[in-house]
Amino acid sequence: MRYFYYFLYIGWHWNFTLAYFVIRHEIAGERKYGIRTTGTYNLSDAIAREDRQYATWYEPVNYYSAGWLFDRLQPADLQTGFLDVGCGKGRVLAMAAAYGFRHITGIDFSPKLYMAANRLRAELETAYADLSIAVHCVNARYYEVPDTTGVIFLFNPFDAPMMELFIEQVKKSLQRLPRAVKILYANPQCRQLWIDAGFRETDAFVKLVHLKGSVLEFAPGALTPGCGMLGK
């Protein structure tokens, strides 16, 4: 029944061709990873009043887009820390574990979604050997990005003003420890902000008009002194 309601939700807001495509991947993805993360959730009644201006309806990133982005990773990427910003119920955390990451972090500012992701965290740490997952209920603008983070996943988690604040946190981490960082960005509404901050788009896709993704990378030494991200 959850697939039926989600099908209607996507069909109503976009179109039924897209809904059929997404639901096919939902069913296959949920079975593949052994999780239950399909569905939507209204965030406005579960977060602090001051944050409601940034809130939208929660829906998980579709499996097609997430899989496309994960498939662009290199073996070296899997040896770094993985950060899912707006982790929701933990779908991307499960995918990151399956792809081979062993140091995974998820953040979300909804207490209810945080609790759901934390329950999944326990299941994943039982299922995978040598896996460490941390889930935090925190606003991204206050979150100190770990200096071990090498891959960040975003599914259009917030608007441009909030994205700028999160980019500042990424900049601080890169200033502390210059390193390569890769952004896997589904529905990249604020893609230009990352490019303006010194990241370079290395790959992108569009599927059925509405499904979009971008891979952006930052490499130390790629910018001239006093210019670009670290010079700001």
Is 129 contained in some domain?
yes
Q: Is residue 121 part of a domain?
A: yes
Q: How many domains does the chain have?
A: 1
CA-to-CA separations, 44 to 51, 157, 231, in angstroms, rounded = 9, 14, 37
Q: Is residue 207 part of a domain?
A: yes
For residue 62, what pLDDT is reported? 98
Residue 37 within any structural domain of the chain: no
What whole-number distance in Å separates Cα of residue 175 and Cα of residue 7?
Answer: 44
CATH of the domain at 217: 3.40.50.150
The SS3 of residue 156 is coil
55 occurs within a structural domain:
no
In angstroms, the CA 29 to CA 123 distance is 17
Phi and psi at 163, nearest 5°, equal -60, -40
Distances from the Cα of 36 to the Cα of 30, 31, 69, 79, angstroms: 6, 9, 21, 27
d(CA 130, CA 102): 7
Q: What pLDDT does residue 3 have?
A: 94
> How far apart are the C-alpha atoms of 30 and 160, rounded to whole Å?
31
Helix (H) or strand (E) holding 140: none
CB 135 within 8 A of CB 87: yes
Spatial contact of 182 and 153, defined as CB atoms under 8 Å apart: no
**pLDDT above 70: percentage of residues in the chain:** 88
What pLDDT digit, counting tens, does each position of 38-72 carry?
A: 988 776 655 566 665 655 567 999 999 999 999 99
The verdict on residue 119 lying in a domain is yes
Report yes or no on 24 lying in a domain: no
In a domain, 198, yes or no: yes
Task: Specify the pLDDT at position 32.
Answer: 98
Residues of the chain with pLDDT under 50: 223-229, 232
Residue in the structure block whose two tokens are 């209920």: 137
What is residue 217's three-state secondary structure?
strand
Q: How far, in Å, CA of 44 to CA of 23, rounded?
A: 25
Half-sphere exposure of residue 196: CA atoms within 13 angstroms, side-chain side: 10
Return the closest-CA partner of residue 191 out of 203, 201, 181.
201
pTM: 0.92
Instruction: Name the residue range of residue 143's domain.
Output: 62-231
Contact by Cβ (8 Å): 208, 230: no
